Structure formats: C-alpha cells, structure tokens
Chains A and B, each alone.
Chain A
Amino acid sequence: MKKLKKYMHWILLSPYLTLFVIFILLPIVVAIYLSFTYFNAIQSPRWVGLQNYVNLFTRDEIFMQKVLPNTIKFSLIVGPGGYILSFILAWLVAQLTKIPRTIFALILYSPSLTAGVTMAVVWRVLFNGDQQGYLNALLLRLGFIDKPIQWLQSPEHLLTIMIIVSLWSSMGVGFLAMLAGILNVDETLYEAAYIDGIRNRLQEIIYITIPAMKPQMLFGAVMSIVQTFTTAGIGVALSGTNPTPQYAGQLIVNHIEDYGFLRYEMGYAAAVSVVLLLIIYLFSRIAWKLFGDN
C-alpha cells in the first residue's frame, strides 16, 4: 500500500502519458525515422539516408515553386496577421462595458466555432464560380465585374480566399486568452504609468498592457500557430481537388497527403512532415523569444 502511494503520481499520469506517447511522441519519432527511408507501405522501409531531403529541395519543383512559397505566404499572413488582429480586437472589445463586451466577443469568437472543413460546403456556395454564386451576383450587380469569376478554381484567387476564410475564423482560444489577459491587468499599473508620464493609449498598450500580460500573449501566439497549420488543408476542401488547381492553394499539409495517401511514397511524405514540424517549431521559437521569460 505504502509503495503504491509512493508511485501515485505515475499512476495518475499514466493514462495521459500513454496516449501522449502513442499519438504525439511516437508519430514524431516515426516520422523522423521514415524520412530517412524509402517506404511504400508494402515492403519494409529501406534506409536511404538524406535522399528524401535532397530530392525535396533539389528535384521537387512543385514543392519549391508552389507548396513552400504558398505555405510561407499563408502562414505569415494567417499566423502573425491573425494573431495581431486577435490582439487588436481583444483590446477594442475590452474598452466596452460588460454586456456589449460579451456580445462582441461572442460574435468575433463564433467563426472559430464553425468546423473548418465542413464549412467548405458553405464557402463553395458563396464563392460559386457561375453567376449563381453570391459573391459573383453581388459584384455583377454592382458593376465591378462583367462576367462571373471562378473564385475557387482559378489559381490567382484561391490562395487569397483561403487566407480570408482562415483569418475570418482566427479569433479562437488565443483571442479569449488575450481578452482575459487585458481585462486582468492591474489597474494601479495604469495609474502609476500616467503619473510617470505616459501620454496616450498606444503608449499604454506598449509599456503597460503587453508587458503585464506577456504569458497570455505567448499562449495566444502558440494557439494561433496551431490554428494556422491545422486549417492549412482548407484549399483542397474549397476547390474540391487534391492537388488544387495548378497547385495554387497547395500547402505542405496537402503535399504530405498527396505523397502519403495518393502515391504511397510514405518515406518521402515523412520528410515533408519533418520539414513542416520544423517550420512550426521555428514559429513557436520566435513566439517564445518575444514573450517568454527565458
């Protein structure tokens, strides 16, 4: 009995740790291992060293010319962009009294409650390519365009629409955390700062609000990184095809699926996964540098 008590923390942690290892840690380890192999899901993996990475960066034109630039553009705008937007909106909402604040916060948060991929069926109607599409009908009536635009099938518009849709739903958990953070900044800090010579609201935000809520800023940043890369598959859902038209909306997540599940080049797909994990890690390193304690 006594012995059991001594190991109680492991007993309590074991369900979580087991699931964590199986569904988070092990997949990462396996991805790294497979990325150094040739593996077609039928024969056992054959070690090929860095070949997959060499091919990825030197031979895979689609990856270097489309997928990587798309991913960088998408994640830079939706990630930091959505994050800054979340903070600004959280701050604006925090300037209101309780009831209107709650209503506005609810409205801004509710898009993130719509299920990313399932929402695509609705977007397809709004952005429908013929004149029945709501956006086309509106623009035709206002005289901005003279014939309907294939929003989701044309390479020049798809990525933009993906970005708008993702930004629309980017006020998620991070937004709520930052709102709570702004509301909980100690009021006496502001009073002291005004005595010390702060003159306007912008200075107040930069010198008081943000430093006082750094932990929430960091949490919000990590959440927007996760959200950005989780919604990144939306291009395929919107256009209805993988690959997307002329790879215009192709992001790394789709490239992984393309090679893994459509071509069964799992080793190669794993190398793409590792590159994606590194990109995510890089983004969060920057967030920790900006807002972390150490």
Chain B
Amino acid sequence: MAGFTTKTNPKRFHKSQLKFYFILAPIAAFMLLPIIFIFSQAFKPIDELFLYPPRFFVRRPTFNNFYELFAATKGSSIPVSRYLINSILTALFTVIFTIIISVFAGYALSKKRFKAKNLIFTINNLALMFVPVAVIIPRYLIVQKLGLIDTFIINVLSLLAMPIGIFLIKQFVDQIPDALIEAALIDGANDFQIIFNLIMPLLKPAISTVGILAFQVAWNSADASTYFINNENLRTFAFYVSNLTAVTGNTIAGQGIAAAASLIMFVPNLVLFIFMQSRVMNTMAHSGLK
C-alpha cells in the first residue's frame, strides 16, 4: 500500500510531504510579493520612494505616508476621515442587516413547509452567479426611480441581497434537527424566539462566514459611491482610494500615499479572516451545490 505514505489531511509530518512544500513555497512567495510590496511601500520615507533604481523593501520605515494621506483633501474641504467613517458605517450596517435578513430567509427556506420553497431556493441558487455590474444601468434607473440617488443608505441597501448568504445559512440550518425546533414550538416559543435563542447560537460558524463575506463586499466596493452617489460627503473610502490618483496625481510621493491607503483597505479584511478562519472552513464544508 505505497499510496498511504502520503495522504490527504495527514495527522503527522512525514518526509514524503516535502515535495508538496517544494511546489507550494515558490507559488506562495509569488502570491505574497504584491502584498509585501504594499506594506513596504506604505512605510517608505519620501527619499526611498524617489530612489533610482527603485528598491523593493523599505529600509527606514516611517508613518509619513499615513500622515500625508489624512492631510490630503480633495480640493474641497472633505477630509479623508469622512470617507473612512462612511466606509465603517456602511460595513457595519451591511454586516448586521445581511446577517439578519439571511438568517430569516435561510431559516424559512430550511425549516418551513410551503409550496414555493423549492422554487425560491432554485432561483436563489441560480442567482449565486449574479454579477451586479452586468446590469448596472437598470440598477441605476431603479435606484433613481426609488429616489435613492445621493442617499447614504444606498451604500448599504444595494449590497444587502446576497444570494450566497441565504445559501450558506440554509445549508447550515439544514443540519439542525427538526425535533429541536418542534420541541421549542411545543414549549410555546414563536419563530422569532426560536431564531434568536435557538438557531443563531447554533449557527455561529455560518453567521461569521456570511458576516465576513458581507464585510468584504461592503468594505471593498466602490460601486454604490461611483454610480449612485455624487455627493462627496456620502462616498466611501474604497471610492476615495480608487480615485486617489485624481487627488495626488500619479506622482512618486502619491505612490506612497496610495500604498498607505491600500494597506488600510487590506488589513481589516485580513485580520477578520484570520480570526474567523476556522469558522469559515467549517461553513465551507457545507457549501456544496447539488
């Protein structure tokens, strides 16, 4: 049984695993390069940014680029912190509402019995492949008809319908035995009590995952700010960063500021994922589409 010296999901290290390290290490290094570059560039002092030939790694790190970033305003008097606060609020509300909406819908699709249930789930599965930018023009027209152009809530509203959220939650609720819910019903609990007191605590991994996905979309997305909002006061940090060259020009000093801004975009995503990774992996085990 030679095949069993190396196997999937091994418990212990074996020298036969070395070959996988040899393949993975260079790939991982390549993947890491641009990320190391953002870190390095963000902390470079101005003379190192101007250096020729350019040097990849920073020698004498400073926070100068971050100061410059927050000192820069876009001609008008709107400080960068304004965009950042908008992003934080957008992300916060998007995460909270996506979780509540997805848990309600996922619970109903998993545990309630009604005619249209399978149809709705099938349509939702089909909508997993929905790409919002593909229909950006009708979306714009609809948002305009609803009078939501230039409102803060469109930042949040346009992101809340997340088919993948409903899908993952429903798959997870499926694991909870019906008997548990029936027992609670007999004890006189209503559906909201069941959701908040019984289902939510059991759904922690799936809720964390949906929360983290909602956060990533909300934090990274510049779409609502680009298409639905003209008022600078309401736009998000992602929008600010993607238009940064318009502010600083494509100058070399601007490159350091841009890297600092990209770092601020990236780090929250990374930290959240590191904290949640075991819950995310647990959820992904139930992510199969049939």
Contacts and interface: CB of A to CB of B under 8 A. Distances in A.
Interface of A: 8-10, 12-13, 15-17, 19-20, 22-24, 26-28, 30-31, 34, 41, 89, 91-97, 100, 102, 104-111, 113-126, 131-134, 137, 140-141, 168, 171, 173, 176-177, 179-185, 187, 190, 194, 198-201, 204, 209, 213-216, 218-219, 222-223, 225-226, 229-230, 232-233, 237, 240, 253, 256-257, 260-261, 266, 269-270, 273, 276-277, 280-281, 283-284, 291-293
B8 A110 contact: no
Interface residue tally on B, bucketed by range: 35 or more
Question: For the complex, would chain A's binding face be called helix, strand, loop or mixed by DSSP majority?
Answer: helix
Interface in B137-183: 137-142, 146, 157-158, 160-161, 163-164, 166
B136 A256 contact: yes
Given A19-B161, A97-B11, A185-B8, A134 B54 contact: yes
B9 A117 contact: no
Contact of A201 (B3, B101, B132, B273): B3
Contacts of A218: 288-290
Contact of B134 (A12, A109, A237, A273): A273
Given A92-B20, A261-B137, 9 more contacts: A19-B160, A22-B161, A23-B160, A95-B17, A115-B222, A176-B281, A183-B8, A253-B134, A293-B290
Contacts of B35: 110-111, 114
A61 B100 CA distance: 48
A256 B219 CA distance: 25
22 contacts: A12-B105, A19-B160, A23-B139, A23-B157, A23-B160, A23-B161, A24-B130, A97-B17, A100-B21, A102-B277, A108-B31, A111-B34, A115-B269, A122-B34, A137-B52, A180-B285, A215-B289, A219-B288, A253-B133, A270-B137, A281-B129, A293-B290
A91 B266 CA distance: 26
Interface stretch (B60-68, B73-81, B239-247): B239-247
B1 A118 contact: no
Given A34-B138, A218-B289, A108 B28 contact: yes
A8 B192 CA distance: 10
Contact of A24 (B53, B141, B157, B161): B161
Given A34-B138, A225-B129, A194 B1 contact: yes
Contact of B53 (A9, A113, A141): A141
A225 B277 CA distance: 23
Most buried by B among A20, A26, A222: A20
A273 B134 CA distance: 6
B105 A257 contact: no
Contacts of A22: 142, 146, 161
Closest 10 CB pairs of A and B: A215-B288, A115-B220, A30-B138, A180-B284, A9-B112, A121-B258, A16-B105, A19-B161, A27-B135, A12-B108
A177 B284 contact: yes
B255 interface: yes
B41 interface: yes
B85 interface: no
A95 B273 CA distance: 22
Contact of B287 (A13, A41, A180): A180
Nearest to B283: A180
B257 to A, nearest CB: 9
Contact of B136 (A102, A260, A284): A260
Interface of B: 1, 3-4, 6-13, 17, 20-21, 23-24, 27-28, 31-32, 34-35, 37-38, 41, 52-54, 56, 100-102, 104-105, 107-109, 112, 114, 117, 120, 124, 127-142, 146, 157-158, 160-161, 163-164, 166, 191, 213, 216, 219-222, 227, 238, 241-242, 244-245, 250, 252, 255, 258-259, 261-262, 265-266, 269-270, 273-274, 277, 280-282, 284-285, 287-290
Question: For the complex, would chain B's binding face be called helix, strand, loop or mixed by DSSP majority?
Answer: helix
A198 B3 contact: yes
Contact of B6 (A16, A34, A95, A277): A95
Nearest to B107: A12
Given A132-B52, A201-B3, A273-B137, A237 B242 contact: yes
A16 B101 contact: yes
A222 B289 contact: yes
A118 B20 contact: no
Most buried by A among B134, B250, B255: B134
